[in-house]
Structure formats: C-alpha cells, structure tokens
A and B are shown apart, each in its own frame.
Chain A
Amino acid sequence: MNPFLGYALSGVLLIGIGLYGAIVYGHLLRKIIALNVMSGGIFLVFIALARRAPGVADPVPHAMVITGIVVAVCASAVALVLSVRVAVETGQAALPGDHEDRA
C-alpha cells in the first residue's frame, strides 16, 4: 500500500474526529481543540496528496499549508479571546443551549 495514501487516510480520520468533537462537545475549549484537530487533518491530506513524482517534493502545498497554519493560529487566538470574554460575561464556558460537559 502506498504510504502516502495512508497519510491521506489518517488525515481524513483526523478530520472526522475533529468535526465530531466540534459538534458534540459543549465546552468551548474542547470545541476549539477539536477544530484544530480538524485543520491538522486537512493539512495532512494536503501534504500527502501533493507528492507528484517520486523523490520530488512539490513546494506549492508546503506554501499553502504554512499559510493555512498561520490562519489557523490566528483563528484559534480570536476564538480563545472570545471564549474567555464569554466565560466572564455569562459565567459559563459554553454557548447558550450547550452544556459545559465537565464530566
């Protein structure tokens, strides 16, 4: 089996886990971590699919993944700041209608 296909499939698995976490968990930190798992999976798919010819790396996906990581870091930072503010304002680290699922 092509090792790159393996990477790609694990990437897809990570995306699935991340999406599941983002939907199911109520606690904001868990949601944010889940989203990061999800974007990690996407980056893995990117890198795995980008190998054109044997032995030659394609630089374009690298550039894209680096950009993607920067975007993900920024987004996580904004999400964290907002979460803290929400927790201060409403007294719970979850969106209305969700549980904090501390268990």
Chain B
Amino acid sequence: MIALAVAVSCPIWAIVVPLVGAALTMLWPRRATFVGAAATLTTLAVVTALTARIAQTGVQRYAVGGWGAPLGIDLYADGLSAILLAITAAVAAGVSLYGLRYFRAVSVLAYFWTLWLFVWAALNALFLSGDIFNLYVTLELVGLSAVALVALAGGGAALTGALRYLLVSLVGSASYLLGVALLYGQYAVLDIASLGAQVQPDTVTWVAMAAMFAGLMLKTALFPLHFWLPAAHGAAPAPVSAVLSGLVVKASFYILVRLWLQLFPIAVPAPGQLLGALGAAAILWGSIQALRQERLKMLLAYSTVAQIGYLFLVFPLADTVAAQTAWLGVLMFIASHALAKSALFLCAGNILRYYGHDRVHKLGGAARGEPVTFFALGLAGVSLIGLPPSGGFIAKWLLIEAAMASGQWWWVLVMVTGAFLAATYVFRVLGDGLISGTVSARRQVVAPGMAGAALLLALGATVLGFLAVPMDELRQIGWPLVAVRGGQP
C-alpha cells in the first residue's frame, strides 16, 4: 500500500496520465466524455498524492528514463510547483465537469477533451520543469494547444482571435528562447538552480534576462502587451476562456516568478519598479475598459487584463523587508483569480446559453431564472473585488500589507482604486440580474452540471480565503533562499 502511494506520487504521473487521456480521446472520439472524465479523476488523484508527498517529505526530483541532466530531462517539484499543480487541478475539476455537458456536437466534444487534457499535461510539465529549456518547450506546448482550443468555437471572430494569439505567442516564446541561448552561451548550464549559483550581473546576462522577461510579459498579457488577450479570451468557448484566463496566463507568470526568485542577478530596484508601474497601468486601464464593455465575456476578459496587473505588483515588493508577505500574497492572488475568473467565465457560458446573448444591460431577472449560476457569479465576483470571505480578500490584504510595510504606499492607492473599479463592474452585472426584468422567450435550459461546475469553482475561491496558512507552509518547501534580497523565508 505504501509502495503504491509512493509510486503514484511520482511527479511523472502528473504529466503522463492526462497525456494518455488526451491520446485515448483522440483515438476513441465516441467515448471521449467517458475517457475524459476518467482521466480527470485519475489526474486529480495523482496530483493530490504528489502534493501530499511534497508537503510531507519535501522537494522531489525525478530523472525521466534515468537519463539525468544535461541531456536527459529532470523533473523538479518544490512547494511552489505543488501550489501551482494544485491550483491547476482545482480549476481543471470544474472545467472538466462543465465540459461533460457543454458541447453538443460529437466532433467538437472529442477535440475539446483531447486538447484540454493536453493543455493540462503541458501545464503540469511546465510546473515540474527544473531547467530553462524545458520551460520553453512546455510553454510552447501550452501555447499551441491553447490556440487550438480557442479555434474550437469556429467562426471568424474565434479564428482571427486564435491566430493573433498564436502569432503573439510565437514571438513571445522566441524572445524567451533567445534569452535561453544567451544564458547557455554564458554559463553552459540550463538547470535553474545551477544557473542561480553562477549568475553574474554582466551585460550578456542582463540582455538575456531582458529578452526572457519581454517574451514572458507578452505571453502573460501585461499592459501594454495585452492587445491580443480580449479577442482570444472573449471569443473562445466558455470552458476554454476559463482555462485561458484561469490557468494559461499564469503559466508564463510562473516562469517569471521562478526567474526572478532564482536567477535575477543582484537586486537593483529599477526593474521591479518598472514592472510594478506597468502592473499599475494594467489595473487601471483594464478596469476602465471592463467598465465600458457591453458583453459579459469581453468584460471578464478585460477584467483579466486588470487582474494580471496585480500579479506584477509583487516585483517592486519582492526586494524589501516584506518580501515573504508579498510572495504569499501573489500566490494567493494567482489561486483566487484562477478559481474566481474560471467560475465567472463558466457563469458567462451559462448566461449565454440561457438568454442566447450575454449583453450586460439585458440580464434582468437572471437571479430568478438561473439562481445557481447567479449565486456563483456573486461569490466569484466578491473574490474578484477582494471582499471577505474569499481568497481575493486575503491576497489583497497581503499585498497591501507588504506595500505598507515597505513604505511604498503608492501601490496601495493603485490596488484600492482597482478594487473600486472592480466593485463597479461586478455590481453592474449583479445589480442588473437582481432587478426584475423580462426574460426573452428563446431562453434555454442550462444543465445542472454546468451551473454546479461554476458554483464549485466559486465556492473554491471562497474557501481559499481560509487556506492561506497551509499555502504558506507549502510555499516554504524548497523556497529559494536568496540572502542578498533581504527578508527571511
């Protein structure tokens, strides 16, 4: 029994199981739903076992095929990886449940499961990669399969959105790859930990870092490089938007965090302040655009642009006395945004099905017609604004605390303004739904599983508000200890 538990908790299964699931759904399209559900459940079990193992015994390493670095592939899993794996699994549970009932045409259904399980496998592989080149390959895999998922919706808007997303994504990863080439030329290692031990603040390293950061910022859609995101996230099918906004943009941000934590040579405040300033601009610009949108899905997509801005506020705070608070805050933010935003996109999918449209000012009576969806919308919206009880509240508390403790009060003003704007656009939707309105005749029934999936994710965002302490314990496992940065683990 113990041997089985140890075998199951090996990191490789978190990649292999969804990958096999993806292959089987492609070979066996008529049974795609069944295979997809089975693969989802198995992956959930495997990720749970892996996370538990990391929590109990610390950092895990695994050499695929026994080859080992530098030619072989090493998997590496610390607390940070575990947190991202767990967030992905939580969102995946909701998306898979939703996917059971959302698609009607068998062909699209099979493609969805294949691509979605493939994205999941690629995401898990990304979070388990310990060297900068593997990160490139997995990032490219995530990007390509995400593009294909967007195109699933068919039609001009989705196809052009997907193509723009693809071109941007390729430029972004090419830029990242250039940085990898320069770093390898300089240090002749790829492993992040070994690189971190050798890295020097010379010109080539700075250029490499700049290239990698620029590429990843483009892929994370940080203002002003966000232009591709609303079209792609707004036009994709609802569960795909949930995956893109909830998880995919977080993958490139995760690489940024890894690079910053382990590679960035000797702290200077300028890059952190610059990234923070872009983040602040993203918060304000994205929120104002979200306020102006007529369609719910576009509103949510611009809200993602804004929320991504909050993630980048960690960088100006990460070199201060409040570093640990800021890092926990940003991880909490990743988790709460992943759950809340995916819940909101699933709600938008339900509303789209129920009304046949998602125009924000014509949602009167939604609270009565679709009570479960509407309740989920409210809960997830609360987390998005950052009101208690929710993960979003804890995340904002921690980030504001870090900004105050390090004396950088201007970020506090930005975050507070962002929360105001978020409250305005969330309650614009909720207020319309609560007042009485006439529901058009062409409404359709939303399957209970679809409403349930949205509610599940929204409840997850709420419950997350009570998980900050366990998350912090998990985070500290294998947390890179950089003495010069100040702050203790």
- Residues in A lying within 8 Å of B, measured CB to CB: 15, 19, 22, 28, 31-32, 35, 38-39, 42, 45-46, 49-50, 52, 58-61, 63-64, 67-68, 71, 74-75, 78-79, 82-83, 85-86, 89-90, 95-96
* A45 partner, pick from B163, B178, B188, beta carbons under 8 A: B178
What residues of B have a CB within 8 angstroms of the CB of A95 in the complex? 160, 163-164
Bound CA span A11–B428, Å: 52
* Alpha-carbon separation in the docked complex, A71 to B136 (Å): 10
Whether B140 contacts A75 by the Cβ 8 Å rule is yes
Q: Contact at A49–B163, with CB atoms within 8 Å?
A: no
A49 pairs with B181, CB closer than 8 A: yes
State which size class the interface on B falls in: 20 to 34
| B448, chain A: closest CB distance, angstroms | 34
Instruction: For B255, list chain A residues within 8 Å (CB).
Output: none
| Nearest chain B CB to A14 CB, angstrom units | 11
In the complex, chain B residues 137-196 whose Cβ is within 8 Å of any chain A Cβ: 137, 140, 144, 147-148, 151, 155-156, 159-160, 162-164, 166-167, 170-171, 174, 177-178, 180-182, 184-186, 188, 190
Taking the closest CB of chain A, its distance from the CB of B87, in whole angstroms, is: 26
Instruction: Judge whether A89 and B159 touch: CB under 8 Å.
Output: yes
B interface with A by C-beta (< 8 Å): 70-71, 133, 137, 140, 144, 147-148, 151, 155-156, 159-160, 162-164, 166-167, 170-171, 174, 177-178, 180-182, 184-186, 188, 190
| Smallest Cβ-Cβ distance to A65: which chain B residue | B181
Contacts of A85 in B (CB 8 A): 151, 159
Pick 29 A–B contacts, CB within 8 A, sort by A: A22-B171, A35-B167, A38-B171, A38-B174, A39-B174, A46-B181, A46-B184, A46-B185, A49-B182, A50-B185, A59-B71, A60-B190, A63-B71, A64-B133, A64-B180, A71-B137, A74-B144, A75-B166, A78-B144, A78-B148, A78-B166, A79-B166, A79-B170, A82-B151, A82-B163, A85-B151, A86-B156, A86-B160, A86-B163
